[in-house]
Structure 1
Amino acid sequence: MKTITRRVALGVAAGAVALGLAWPAAAEADFAGKTIEWIIPFSAGGGSDTWARFNAPLLSKYLPGNPVVVVVNEPGGGSTKGTNLFAARAKPDGLTILGTSGSTQFPYLLGDPRVRYEYKDWKIAMAGPTGGAVYASPSLGLTGPQDIAKLKDKELVYASQGATSLDLVPLLGFRLMGFNVQHVFGFKGRGDGRLAFERGEVNIDYQTSSAYLKNVQPLVDAGQAVPLFSWGVLNEAGEVVRDPTFPDLPSFAEAYETLTGKAPSGPEYDAYFAFFTAGFPAQKMVFLPNGTPDDIVAAYQKAFEDMKADPDYQANAEAVLGTYEQVTGPLAQALFEKGTTIAPELRKQVVEMLGAEYGVKLGE
């Protein structure tokens, strides 16, 4: 597991490592008798919630003093509500941490007026690459990835957290594929989107890897969902390849080629690829607020590293999180910078498209 994901992560972060960035000094913080709130700005049941609830007890075990770590869901505003609360209220004492997703990064990248947070103010404790897989209802007449072309003449409905959330990746991807998709905005998390799928309110969905493994694979096994493709992962050359968590599923690039007979290219693909890169190689990140002392940051980084040697972590991480290694130090910093930076021209292209086609008005 570690070999695969470290190869993917190093493809993004090699420059940072080459700079010789140093590890923090040994931690001196002590959280004995304390309770730490881990803010997740999404509803329960989605990928971020699943990720945090898997990590929380292990983080408790390896932080100095073994504090209680409580996951607090603060959904709303495409994840901007809970993130704004963290930015405004979290004290630099190590007792409040934030778990972000691509859905938190994208509003920031796009200039969403709801954003009242600045990523550069925070200190990163850990970054977790992840992936995701798209699936559809068998009522559409599909039995597997080989039937994806049947979606071309279907009316598809997708439950979206909003055009500036991580759901921008499927919006751009489905549009590139030529699918006729109605994006229903306003859902508070991918978990809510999955529940809408289970109720038959939508007929196409995607979940990040942790939520897919936990909540969608049972639907697939029961014949209630048909997997179509994964978004894929980046190799060392920066190319999209199959996600090792879903080795039997084609990547987005493969699925596109099946549909069109050619590899994806052009300005629309460049925009899709930019947001895919910002959203998935560094999708899950853990932050401490501005002004947090170095010894507290070091304590968190060490705890996240130490827990990866824990037998419970090693036994269950792949089943829960997929084949992705959570990283700290220079790798985390490099992924953080990758996930919060986008070329101005690609940002402008997407902002204009969202305004013209979906009525989404964003700051310039």
Structure 2
Amino acid sequence: MSTVRHLVMATVVAFLLDASAHAAAPFFEGKSVRIVVGFSAGGGFDTYSRLIARHLGEHIPGKPTVLVENMVGAASLIAANHLYKVAKPDGLTIGNFHGNQLLNQVLGRQGIEFDARKFEHLGVPVQDSLACALSKASGITTFDKLRTAKIAVKFGGVAPGDATYNTAAILKEALTLPIQLVSGYKGTAEIRLAAESGEVAGGCWQWESIKSTWRRALDGGEVTVVLQANPKPHPELVNVPNAIDFAKTGEARQLIKGGLHDPAAITRIYVLPPGTPKERAQTLRRAFADTMKDPAFLADAKKSNLDIDPLTGEELERLVSGLFKLDAGVVKRLREILK
């Protein structure tokens, strides 16, 4: 009897999902879905979004065209605010901005015009690992050379809220490193160019992006990863020093964990405007999850040297909720560092 009941329930669930897909098809059919990326073309966020755009439409009922639009500014805050306040909540606009902007809301930073808990969360394509890569020309080719440098080493950054800024700023304070943060770049593509021209030594951001977009320089020895900032060493960076191992105080360890480790998992968030009809939000959430498992998508990611380690919309939602439960003392100190 129990087996029959389970079979009936499974059939009902399958029927409801199929009915939902058929209901969504007329809406999405013949339309275009935009992914609004908060960073410039050619950077890591843009690269992941264009990869997703090539495959997502195949998993949305009605198979709409999926386009990428770059909306650059303030470490993707402009894009985040636009998605929350301006974008029509009809399921045709997806936002991709830096997850550290959610941390900025927790820290009470100015300029935040959204409540992260009210977005419709689709998922994350990869849980990021943080690394600091510097040019050979800078002369800083090891962590020892960095921490013993007599002159401040210039690290490129975008703005508070972006990994390039937050990672360098937190590591500077937590590990007492001689870092001079040069901010104002539009994205990691510009920071790479600045490092190659000698304007800065390099910077810190997601290893998943560095190894893809800076591959030739890494392979040629023109760029070296001198430090990583991850809960445990990344399998591809086992010989690279890990920041948490050099934290000498409890506060330093908490800053690295709360300011870097925890937000890194949700760096590359994909969300919908609040108020998006639940049925369409669920359709896109399923489409996102299905895309992450699509063999053609995974093959394309491998060809582009992009890691895929996804979070579902439900998992992302839980992690976002957890950010708002950070220890008050850690929040206060992070607020001082990332001002």
TM-score interval, normalised by the smaller of the two chains: 0.7 to 0.9
Q: CA deviation at 1:276?
A: 0.9
Distance 1:184 1:332 in 2: 31
Distance 2:322 2:205 in 1: 22
**Is the Cα–Cα contact under 8 Å of residues 102 and 279 in structure 1 kept in the other structure?**
yes
**Is the Cα–Cα contact under 8 Å of residues 133 and 231 in structure 1 kept in the other structure?**
yes
Aligned to 2:44: 47
Classify the secondary structure of the residue corresponding to 1:152: coil
Q: Mapping of 1:72-91 within 5 angstroms?
A: 72-91=69-88
Aligned to 2:10: none
Aligned to 2:316: 332
**Is the Cα–Cα contact under 8 Å of residues 40 and 72 in structure 1 kept in the other structure?**
yes
Distance 1:107 1:326 in 2: 23
| 1:101 aligned onto 2:94 | no
| 1:346 aligned onto 2:337 | no
Equivalent AA in structure 2 for residue 191 of structure 1:
A
Aligned in 2, Cα 1:46/1:106: closer, same or farther, shift over 3 Å? farther
Per-residue CA distance 1:270-290 (angstroms, 9 max, x = gap): 123201133201111111111
Aligned to 2:232: 241
Aligned in 2, Cα 1:149/1:159: closer, same or farther, shift over 3 Å? closer
Per-residue CA distance 1:119-165 (angstroms, 9 max, x = gap): 122110112411132111223435556x5456533420111112343
**Is the Cα–Cα contact under 8 Å of residues 42 and 73 in structure 1 kept in the other structure?**
yes
Q: Tell me which of 65, 68, 73 is aligned to 2:65.
A: 68
Per-residue CA distance 1:178-227 (angstroms, 9 max, x = gap): 22111112222222222211221001312313321222221122222111
Aligned to 1:277: 261
TM-score (norm 1): 0.79
Classify the secondary structure of the residue corresponding to 2:149: helix
Distance 1:329 1:117 in 2: 18
How many aligned residue pairs are there?
A: 318
**Is the Cα–Cα contact under 8 Å of residues 243 and 251 in structure 1 kept in the other structure?**
no
Aligned to 2:249: 265
Equivalent AA in structure 2 for residue 202 of structure 1:
V
Aligned-pair Cα RMSD in Å: 2.5
**Is the Cα–Cα contact under 8 Å of residues 107 and 115 in structure 1 kept in the other structure?**
yes
Classify the secondary structure of the residue corresponding to 2:237: coil
Equivalent AA in structure 1 for residue 317 of structure 2:
Q
Aligned in 2, Cα 1:150/1:352: closer, same or farther, shift over 3 Å? closer
Q: Mapping of 1:23-34 within 5 angstroms?
A: 26=17, 27-28=20-21, 29-30=24-25, 31-34=28-31
Q: CA deviation at 1:248?
A: 4.4
Q: CA deviation at 1:67?
A: 1.0
Moved over 4 A (4+): 142-145, 147-151, 318-324
Distance 2:47 2:324 in 1: 23
Equivalent AA in structure 2 for residue 210 of structure 1:
E
Aligned in 2, Cα 1:339/1:325: closer, same or farther, shift over 3 Å? farther
Aligned to 1:179: 177
Aligned in 2, Cα 1:251/1:120: closer, same or farther, shift over 3 Å? same
Structure with bigger gyration radius: 2
| 1:252 aligned onto 2:236 | no
Distance 1:83 1:315 in 2: 30
TM-score (norm 2): 0.84
Q: Mapping of 1:86-235 within 5 angstroms?
A: 86-127=83-124, 128-144=126-142, 147-148=144-145, 151-166=148-163, 167-232=165-230
Q: CA deviation at 1:318?
A: 4.8
Aligned in 2, Cα 1:322/1:214: closer, same or farther, shift over 3 Å? closer
Equivalent AA in structure 2 for residue 119 of structure 1:
A
Aligned in 2, Cα 1:229/1:159: closer, same or farther, shift over 3 Å? same
**Is the Cα–Cα contact under 8 Å of residues 146 and 178 in structure 2 kept in the other structure?**
no
Q: CA deviation at 1:308?
A: 2.9
RCO higher in structure (CA 8 A, sep ≥6):
1
**Is the Cα–Cα contact under 8 Å of residues 298 and 308 in structure 2 kept in the other structure?**
no
Aligned in 2, Cα 1:321/1:214: closer, same or farther, shift over 3 Å? closer
Classify the secondary structure of the residue corresponding to 1:90: coil
**Is the Cα–Cα contact under 8 Å of residues 156 and 203 in structure 2 kept in the other structure?**
yes
| 1:312 aligned onto 2:303 | no
**Is the Cα–Cα contact under 8 Å of residues 130 and 322 in structure 1 kept in the other structure?**
no
Aligned in 2, Cα 1:243/1:107: closer, same or farther, shift over 3 Å? same
Distance 1:274 1:110 in 2: 12
Equivalent AA in structure 2 for residue 351 of structure 1:
R
**Is the Cα–Cα contact under 8 Å of residues 231 and 243 in structure 1 kept in the other structure?**
no
Distance 1:172 1:273 in 2: 10
Q: CA deviation at 1:312?
A: 2.2
Aligned in 2, Cα 1:289/1:150: closer, same or farther, shift over 3 Å? closer
- Could you list the runs of 5+ residues in structure 1 that have no partner in the other structure? 1-21, 233-239, 257-262, 355-359
**Is the Cα–Cα contact under 8 Å of residues 281 and 339 in structure 1 kept in the other structure?**
no
